[in-house]
Amino acid sequence: MTEIARDQTVTQAESPAATGRDLRAPFGLALLALACIAPLFLGNYPLHAIIIALIFLLPAHGLNLLLGYTGLLSLAQAAFFGIGAYTSALLAVHFGTPFYLNFLAAGLVTGAVALPLGIPALRLRATSFVMCTLGFVIIGQAIAKNWISLTRGDMGLAAIPKPYFALGPASFTVSGTVGFYYLVLAIAVLATLAVYLIVRSPAGRNMIAIRENETLAESVGIPTWHYKLVVFMISAAFAGLGGSLYAHYLTVVSPLTFQMYYSTTMLIIVLGGGAGTISGVIFGSLLFVGLTEALRVAPELRMIAYGFFLLGLVFWFPNGFAPLISRCSSFLEKRK
Amino acid sequence: MFYTIIEQVVNGIVSGSVYAIVAVGMTMIFGVLRAINFAHGEYYMLGTFGAWFAIEYFDLPYPVAVVIGVVATSVIAVVVGNVVMQRIVGAPAEAGVLATLGVALILQNTIILVFGGSYKFFSGGYIEPVTLFGFTLAEQRILIIIVGLIVFVGLELMVTYSRMGKAMRAVSQNIECCAVVGIDVRHIALWTFILGAGLAALSGVLTAPVNVSVYGGMGELITFKTLPIIIMGGLGNVRGTFVAAMILGVAESLVATYVGLQFRDTVGFATLMLVLMWRPHGLFSAQARF
């Protein structure tokens, strides 16, 4: 870690929300408190929507580390999401292992799978890298469809047990929307904390240095190749954890878990909220829920509106919607 | 045995010609706009639907339907090019990916909304079999190979000799310098995009009689086949794209026969990864540019 990189990264890391800095911690705590009491005033359906958003938050955090902090655009999140979902589902169905084991295994397996995939892919320039990561999704879907003895092909795996915890003789099962909501919320908070610790550490600053100027970062002694590979694995592991939750929540997995749609969704959450900020990604996942709920008219119309939303995002809010809100709040503060 | 292999290779060349016509448009668009066009298969689909509409509702003959399909797609491409594609010249890579994904969603789902999502029968084209050198081939397949060759010779001549073609090559090498010497980059970008979309539509209309059915979601698969081709061919490289498309077409045909039909659609990306491990800059470029 050298002075040049540190100077550059400190300004980068703090500039986006520098004005609203003092408000961030209390605002975050208020949001968390609100999230904790949400089941008191929200019905099952809105809770379901928020659960989906919190599950997607995990792969989105991973993509944010990769795209927002290290500057690598990847479409592979859907592939790792699917691998995590299948790992968890296969363990649960064949061995009946408790939830926390499946969950951790999903993260470890996807992280491990990302290593051999990342080594060739990360050698490529930007555009070829994007294509290669898209290839992982297509090939993953083909494997899920055709390795019928393991994955049951297009039928998918059904009757995945609801998460249950077993420690010695005691065991309990998370059933019902409210229980699952608290489980997912706890995991999402822990994941957010983990990402916060990563980006606040010297490693996080090195990642930003790689994003800003890879050649310069390399020349001041940051091992950029190792950083990129490790971040790729971490981001894959986050996607795998999300996939595991998704499998246990929906209790089915099918080759449709490997879809471009999921990769697009992760991109929307990260870029819509603001890449390179943690609060942005949290905002992005809530935005995504709001969007899908608002567009629940007809499937075709919904996808058309989704398309127009993407265009609007690119052309009018290239930094995402979160900076817009922090600009509004700082504007209001100045008027006081 | 030998006869089947030859037959599969010929089939591969037919589908390779189709991929080549689609992919060459995409690779030229990439060269000029520096954006991967995720909506490219959608223009293939639009061309097919235009021709299907002309045949089904107005009972027009197939050659007229081809023209209508290509013209209708080009008109849509003018709109998309003006509203979206011109604005992503010089934008970061994420912008190009998201914007073209958005365009793909809009085009695909508008067609499904208007015509419904079901498969539709495409009645047209020349499906009579012809026997050549002991091989039986549908007329339409021969037509596809001939049109493929004409398109490539035409493009090669255009890129080498015409003013527009030279400008396209110049823009794909260095946007800033072109702007400095007074080339209207946005104008070139727009025309390249329209040309690419028109070629995709042409390829769609030519294949429709072979595929027999058309449906709104058919473009996505074509996009996913085209992407590995343009990377293997070396992004922006016209001749490389032609060779890569032929390799993929033949490889797919052989894999479908000897390994299993269900693996056909992964051949592209699997080959791409193998090629990139060996040559990270594609098969036909001296060094990595993108």
Q: How many angstroms separate the CA of residue A22 from the nearest CA in chain B?
A: 31
A3 pLDDT tier (thresholds 50, 70, 90): very low
A178 touching chain B per CB within 8 A: no
Predicted local distance difference test score (pLDDT) of residue A272: 83
Interchain CB distance below 8 Å, B273 and A120 = yes
| Partners of A164 in the β-ladder | A173
Size (chain B), residues: 290
pTM for this model (two decimals) = 0.84
Instruction: Please state the rounded mean pLDDT for residues A211-221.
Output: 84
- pLDDT for B47-56, tens place per residue? 999 999 888 8
Predicted local distance difference test score (pLDDT) of residue A62: 92
Nearest CA in chain B to A317: B95
* Distance between CA atoms of residues B38 and B97, nearest Å: 7
* Distance between CA atoms of residues A292 and A50, nearest Å: 11
Predicted local distance difference test score (pLDDT) of residue A336: 54
Instruction: Please state the rounded mean pLDDT for residues A32-49.
Output: 80
Got the DSSP string for B122-168?
---S---EEEETTEEEEHHHHHHHHHHHHHHHHHHHHHHHSHHHHHH
DSSP B283: S
Which of A117, A225, A314 is best to mutate for the B interface (most B CBs within 10 A)? A314
Residue position matching structure tokens 């909501």: A181
Instruction: Please state the rounded mean pLDDT for residues A32-56.
Output: 82
Nearest CA in chain B to A267: B98
* Distance between CA atoms of residues B70 and B200, nearest Å: 9
- pLDDT for B174-192, tens place per residue? 888 888 888 888 888 889 9
Q: How many angstroms separate the CA of residue A256 from the nearest CA in chain B?
A: 15
B93 touching chain A per CB within 8 A: yes
DSSP A169: T
- Which residues of chain B have a CB within 8 Å of the CB of A130? 36, 93, 97
Give the N- to C-terminal CA distance of chain B in Å, as an integer.
Answer: 42
What is the token pair recorded at B228?
């590995």
Interchain CB distance below 8 Å, A314 and B91 = yes
Q: Is B116 helix (H, G, I), strand (E, B) or coil?
A: coil
Interchain CB distance below 8 Å, A131 and B231 = yes
* Distance between CA atoms of residues A89 and B184, nearest Å: 56
Residue position matching structure tokens 């051999």: A116
- Which residues of chain B have a CB within 8 Å of the CB of A124? 276, 280, 288
Most confident of A126-140, A231-245, B76-90: A231-245
- pLDDT for A273-292, tens place per residue? 888 888 888 888 888 877 77
Residue at B246: amino acid letter:
M
Instruction: Please state the rounded mean pLDDT for residues A167-173.
Output: 68
Q: Parallel, antiparallel, or unpaired for β B213-214 and B120-121?
A: antiparallel
Q: How many angstroms separate the CA of residue A139 from the nearest CA in chain B?
A: 6
Burial of A206 per CB tally in 10 Å (0-12, 13-18, 19+): buried
- The vertex-B243 CA angle with B237 and B247, nearest 5°, equals 135
Radius of gyration of chain A (CA): 20
Is the pLDDT at A333 greater than 70, yes or no?
no
DSSP A253: B
Q: Parallel, antiparallel, or unpaired for β A170-173 and A164-167?
A: antiparallel
Tell me which of A239-248, B46-55, B163-172 is least confident: B163-172
Nearest CA in chain A to B260: A146
Give me the total of CB pairs closer than 8 Å, taking one residue from chain A and one from chain B: 128
The partner residue sitting opposite A142, judged by closest CB among B36, B88, B265, is B265
What is the token pair recorded at B179?
């702007």
Burial of B139 per CB tally in 10 Å (0-12, 13-18, 19+): middle
Q: Where are the beta strands (DSSP E) in chain A?
A: 164-167, 170-173
* Distance between CA atoms of residues B229 and B236, nearest Å: 11
- Which residues of chain A have a CB within 8 Å of the CB of B240? none
Is the pLDDT at B87 greater than 80, yes or no?
yes
- CB-based contact A284:A68 (threshold 8 Å): no
Q: Where are the beta strands (DSSP E) in chain B?
A: 120-121, 129-132, 135-138, 213-214
Sign (positive or negative) of CA dihedral A68, A69, A72, A77? negative
Q: In A, residues 243-272, which contact B (CB 8 Å cutoff)?
A: 260, 264, 267-268, 271
* Distance between CA atoms of residues B289 and B67, nearest Å: 36
Interchain CB distance below 8 Å, A127 and B231 = yes
Q: Is A173 helix (H, G, I), strand (E, B) or coil?
A: strand
Portion of chain A with pLDDT greater than 70, in percent: 88
Tell me which of A255-259, B99-103, B249-253 is least confident: A255-259
- Cβ neighbors of A272 (< 8 A, separation 6 or more) are A284, A287, A288, A313, A317, A320, A321
Q: Is A171 helix (H, G, I), strand (E, B) or coil?
A: strand
- pLDDT for A285-332, tens place per residue? 888 877 777 777 677 788 888 888 888 888 888 777 777 777 776 766
Is the pLDDT at A143 greater than 70, yes or no?
yes
Instruction: Please state the rounded mean pLDDT for residues B75-84.
Output: 91
- CB-based contact A57:A77 (threshold 8 Å): no
Predicted local distance difference test score (pLDDT) of residue B287: 55
B39 touching chain A per CB within 8 A: no
The phi-psi region of residue A320 (left if phi > 0; otherwise alpha if psi is between -120 and 50; otherwise beta) is left
Instruction: Please state the rounded mean pLDDT for residues B106-116.
Output: 88
- Which residues of chain A have a CB within 8 Å of the CB of B108? 303
Higher pLDDT: A215 or B203? It is: B203
A23 pLDDT tier (thresholds 50, 70, 90): low
Is the pLDDT at A15 greater than 50, yes or no?
no
ipTM: 0.83
Q: Is B174 helix (H, G, I), strand (E, B) or coil?
A: coil
The partner residue sitting opposite B102, judged by closest CB among A125, A128, A310, is A310
Predicted local distance difference test score (pLDDT) of residue A18: 46
- Cβ neighbors of A317 (< 8 A, separation 6 or more) are A272, A324
| Partners of A171 in the β-ladder | A166
CA quadruple B43, B164, B245, B221: dihedral, nearest 10: -20
Interchain CB distance below 8 Å, A131 and B228 = yes
B127 touching chain A per CB within 8 A: no
A307 touching chain B per CB within 8 A: yes
Q: In B, residues 133-162, which contact A (CB 8 Å cutoff)?
A: none
Q: Is A250 helix (H, G, I), strand (E, B) or coil?
A: helix
